[in-house]
Structure 1
Amino acid sequence: MINQLNLHVPPQINENLEKKNITEPTPIQQAVIPKALNGESVMFRSQTGSGKTLAYVLPLLAAIEADQQTIQAVIVAPSQELAVQIESVIKEVTDQTTLSSMAFIGGANVNRQVEKLKKSKPHIAVGTPGRLMELIRLKKIKLANIRMFVLDEVDRLVEEQESWKDVEELGKRLGYNVQGLFASATIPKGLEDKLKVFSPNVEKLEENTSTLPEQIEHLAVMIEERDRIDTVRKIVHAEEIKKGIVFVNHLDRLNETVEKLRYRKVEAVALSSEQTKTDREQAIARFKSGAASILVATDVAARGIDIEKVSHIIQLDASRSFESYLHRAGRTGRVKEDGKVISLLNGQERYLKEKYEKYLNIHVNEVFLKNGTLISE
């Protein structure tokens, strides 16, 4: 892979990629990496599971001078889980090299992070906007040697007003001369103008494919309002789901869903933005290990979660926006594996089916439960 892309990085990185069966660049990597290596700032949209993390990580690694033990790149993510996940990818790719990275996330003890920075400075700082800016204001992270600035899931960062204030402040402090790489699943209206505040010369690249992978099947089940949670239980059994994520729109629905599923012998765990960092980590660990087959989550809690082998996404509460549907659906069908997204809709929500189809260029097949099986109309 490295040879094809003309990346000047330690040879061990190529070996690490081969261990992960990454030998050919994906289309978005082929599009982004040469421009990034050329010093251009790029905003790029690609479907989930398309390899966008390596599209910015590899040119970033190529730009780092390993013998200078200073922070030379910053990666900003909208959630703690995504920041940790990005840093774990970097660690896997840079194993057995002198390139280093650290994650700085809200919810973790800031004093411990300060102590880590006193002992050694990583080449790459990955973190959430609030915590990164906190450490910058404390002068524990210095910006003088930073060459590259990455925003992952930039569409999500823009949605959160407080997060975007921190992102904008960081961008302005870095100045126009720092190269920016901005990854997104969607490009909302006005995003380019927001980026121009701190990165005026950005080229936009969009992967020439549909927004969602073709191998994802989209289904809708019409329901009575009172039957939502029990319908989820029936779908879990009908589809023999070993690893599925159930999305709800409100926190009060989340705990009710988990309790009722557990009562009916479905091993479920909750993922909430109100949980402590430890509780969130334990929930994800149980889900990853298979101890729980169902993860019940809100959009905020599930941002950026990349868990292998998720076969089903169930919208217990259908999202009102196609952008939210896109992010939910993107948790399955990764790396060319099959996946299903099943939306529960009452009579008043039927219009959402047409909305998803129109804006995402997908077909949502209407199905119903009969004798413990999902059957097409």
Structure 2
Amino acid sequence: MTLNFESLGVEQDLLTKLAEHEITQPSPVQAQAIPEILKGRHVMARSQTGTGKTLAYLLPLLQAIAPQKKAVQKMILAPSQELAMQIVREGQRYGEHRGIRVLGLIGGAAIKRQIEKLKDHPQLVVGTPGRVRELIAARKLKMHNITTIVIDEVDQMFQLGGAGDVKNILSAAQRDRQLVFLSATLNDEIQALAKREMNDYAEIGIDPDQKTASGLEHYYFVAEERDKVDMLRRLVRHFNPRKALVFVNTINAIGEIEAKLNHIGLTTASLYGEADKVTRSNVLARFREDKLKVLVASDVAARGLDIEGLEMVIHFDPATDSQAYVHRAGRTGRMGRKGLVVSVVTERETFIMRKFSRELGIHITERTLHGGRVVVPRPGDAKRAPVRPSEARPASDGAENGKAPVRNENGRPGRTAAAGSAPGKKKGAALSKAGKADRERDRKNKGAPRWLKEKGSKPNG
């Protein structure tokens, strides 16, 4: 029997709203989480980005709210302003027809205005932990009627130093409240909190070995540091996505890249933690409405954001670790769609791509732009050793996931350098030679890049 939302216990009016937005079949995380949350059980759910986690908790929350009761009944915590406001929009979209009031309580906004809106008795509040804790301490946000607290992107909450705020919020709520933790990754600290705060919780893990969505293609292009902006321009022009999200590690670079791309005619804006709430909100609105071709951002945009039509993610600077790569990549290829993830790296940063391939178990293959086409580099074109099969499976000559193969300048199917050894040489010898070159380069690159060591230079997300 085909699983549908009705069989999960979702009521008819919500089914109608889902159908209006062409959502008819639940994703795996929705199929597992919705019934458990409707039962009132504690839930700890792990699932890749872009798999529908928001609706997995939002639908049962809205269904359990009593609209006639004028008190805050459900609370959702999110690590960033952007994610919180996105959840507010979804809550309004599916809850307004039920008479449910949804209020966003985020840092950076006027607290007096939020206090005034709390007097209208919203039933669902969505907020960032610092502001929610501030309102609780001021006795403006009452916790005694809250029966469910959802913490979205819980691992990011802890990484950003919000663990203390979260624990204080939980301690202010009733002991019998329901807790729901969701994220793409879970660490020991989060699991310890879950065991301390939850009794008999349902642990949901969707494809724990598959870290990124299956519909993504992962490539990297090598360029000199001084040529990276030009490479970025060429990539956007060549692939011509409906819109692209570019991740950069430092604020100064964000401004420079934004200016250069606008100068060459690519409508571009930037998003980073230090910008004020109104600016960030306006930039995201323009990007959602297709008024921008490119959004250059810090990792503030790497968590939870769902941008319709985002076909391409570009790492102008490599992610700081494999988990950051997962969350950046998860902005595209959401809910089973196709997506392209591209990294622009220098010669000495190529080892990072091999590292991510190993840790995530995904193909991150090198490509180059030649004659207006994207091709597999030929042996001898560069001194870099290819990603070895032991580190990441090489891209096949045939179609992967229904995609057409990449072809070289002669129109023949492209091959990885390791597989394309010179005629007359044994495959084992070619692999051995590549392995020696690879180990030598990793030895030289033993120290992490400078940007990876200088934590203070990263923008605050």
> Secondary structure in 1 aligned to 2:113?
helix
Separation of aligned partners in 2, 1:2 and 1:221 = 42
| 1:339 CA displacement | 0.8
In the superposition, relative to structure 1, how do residues 330 and 360 fare at CA in structure 2: closer, same or farther (>3 Å)?
same
User: Do residues 208 (structure 1) and 207 (structure 2) align?
Assistant: yes
Name 2:19's counterpart in structure 1. Answer: 18
Name 1:190's counterpart in structure 2. Answer: 189
Separation of aligned partners in 2, 1:358 and 1:206 = 21
Structure with higher Rg: it is: 2
| 1:140 CA displacement | 1.2
Name 1:339's counterpart in structure 2. Answer: 339
Separation of aligned partners in 2, 1:69 and 1:88 = 20
| 1:302 CA displacement | 4.3
| 1:2 CA displacement | 4.3
Separation of aligned partners in 1, 2:188 and 2:6 = 37
Separation of aligned partners in 2, 1:106 and 1:196 = 29
| 1:299 CA displacement | 0.2
Separation of aligned partners in 2, 1:111 and 1:204 = 39
Given that residues 320 and 352 in structure 1 are in contact (C-alpha distance below 8 angstroms), is that contact kept between their aligned partners in structure 2? no
Given that residues 74 and 150 in structure 1 are in contact (C-alpha distance below 8 angstroms), is that contact kept between their aligned partners in structure 2? yes
Name 1:122's counterpart in structure 2. Answer: 122
Separation of aligned partners in 1, 2:234 and 2:24 = 41
| 1:290 CA displacement | 2.1
Name 1:105's counterpart in structure 2. Answer: 106
Given that residues 44 and 202 in structure 2 are in contact (C-alpha distance below 8 angstroms), is that contact kept between their aligned partners in structure 1? yes
Given that residues 273 and 301 in structure 1 are in contact (C-alpha distance below 8 angstroms), is that contact kept between their aligned partners in structure 2? no
User: Do residues 46 (structure 1) and 47 (structure 2) align?
Assistant: yes
Name 2:80's counterpart in structure 1. Answer: 79
- The within-5 A match list for 1:256-335 is 256-335=256-335
**Larger RCO: Structure 1 or Structure 2 (Cα < 8 Å, ≥ 6 residues apart)?**
1
In the superposition, relative to structure 1, how do residues 188 and 348 fare at CA in structure 2: closer, same or farther (>3 Å)?
farther
Name 2:33's counterpart in structure 1. Answer: 32
Separation of aligned partners in 1, 2:373 and 2:135 = 53
Separation of aligned partners in 2, 1:42 and 1:156 = 18
Separation of aligned partners in 2, 1:116 and 1:362 = 47
Separation of aligned partners in 1, 2:291 and 2:26 = 34
Name 1:143's counterpart in structure 2. Answer: 143
Given that residues 246 and 314 in structure 2 are in contact (C-alpha distance below 8 angstroms), is that contact kept between their aligned partners in structure 1? yes
| 1:348 CA displacement | 1.9
- Greater strand share, 1 or 2? 1
Separation of aligned partners in 2, 1:25 and 1:214 = 17
Name 1:4's counterpart in structure 2. Answer: 7
Task: Write out per-residue CA displacement over residues 258-290 of structure 1, whole angstroms, 9 at most, x where no aligned residue.
Answer: 111122222111111111112112211222222
In the superposition, relative to structure 1, how do residues 62 and 96 fare at CA in structure 2: closer, same or farther (>3 Å)?
closer
Given that residues 176 and 199 in structure 1 are in contact (C-alpha distance below 8 angstroms), is that contact kept between their aligned partners in structure 2? no
| 1:225 CA displacement | 1.6
| 1:190 CA displacement | 2.8
Given that residues 77 and 151 in structure 2 are in contact (C-alpha distance below 8 angstroms), is that contact kept between their aligned partners in structure 1? yes
Separation of aligned partners in 1, 2:66 and 2:45 = 25
Separation of aligned partners in 2, 1:255 and 1:195 = 40
> Secondary structure in 1 aligned to 2:98?
coil
Name 2:445's counterpart in structure 1. Answer: none
- Aligned residues: percent identity? 36
In the superposition, relative to structure 1, how do residues 112 and 24 fare at CA in structure 2: closer, same or farther (>3 Å)?
same
Name 1:64's counterpart in structure 2. Answer: 65
| 1:128 CA displacement | 0.6
| 1:61 CA displacement | 2.1
Separation of aligned partners in 2, 1:290 and 1:96 = 28
Task: Write out per-residue CA displacement over residues 149-200 of structure 1, whole angstroms, 9 at most, x where no aligned residue.
Answer: 1000111101011x22111110122254211011101112332013344335
Task: Write out per-residue CA displacement over residues 101-125 of structure 1, whole angstroms, 9 at most, x where no aligned residue.
Answer: 111111111111111112x111111
Given that residues 104 and 132 in structure 1 are in contact (C-alpha distance below 8 angstroms), is that contact kept between their aligned partners in structure 2? yes
Given that residues 106 and 131 in structure 1 are in contact (C-alpha distance below 8 angstroms), is that contact kept between their aligned partners in structure 2? yes
| 1:335 CA displacement | 2.6
Separation of aligned partners in 2, 1:351 and 1:200 = 44
Separation of aligned partners in 2, 1:93 and 1:327 = 26
Separation of aligned partners in 2, 1:127 and 1:175 = 18
Separation of aligned partners in 2, 1:155 and 1:287 = 26
Separation of aligned partners in 2, 1:75 and 1:298 = 24
Given that residues 84 and 128 in structure 2 are in contact (C-alpha distance below 8 angstroms), is that contact kept between their aligned partners in structure 1? yes
Identify the range of structure 1 (68-77 vs 12-21) with the bigger mean alpha-carbon deviation: 12-21
Q: One-letter code of the match for 2:108?
A: G
Given that residues 172 and 198 in structure 1 are in contact (C-alpha distance below 8 angstroms), is that contact kept between their aligned partners in structure 2? no
Given that residues 312 and 332 in structure 1 are in contact (C-alpha distance below 8 angstroms), is that contact kept between their aligned partners in structure 2? yes
Name 2:170's counterpart in structure 1. Answer: 171
How large is the RMSD of aligned CA atoms in angstroms?
A: 1.6
Name 2:91's counterpart in structure 1. Answer: 90
Task: Write out per-residue CA displacement over residues 183-235 of structure 1, whole angstroms, 9 at most, x where no aligned residue.
Answer: 10111233201334433543321013622221110001112121111110111
Name 1:371's counterpart in structure 2. Answer: 371
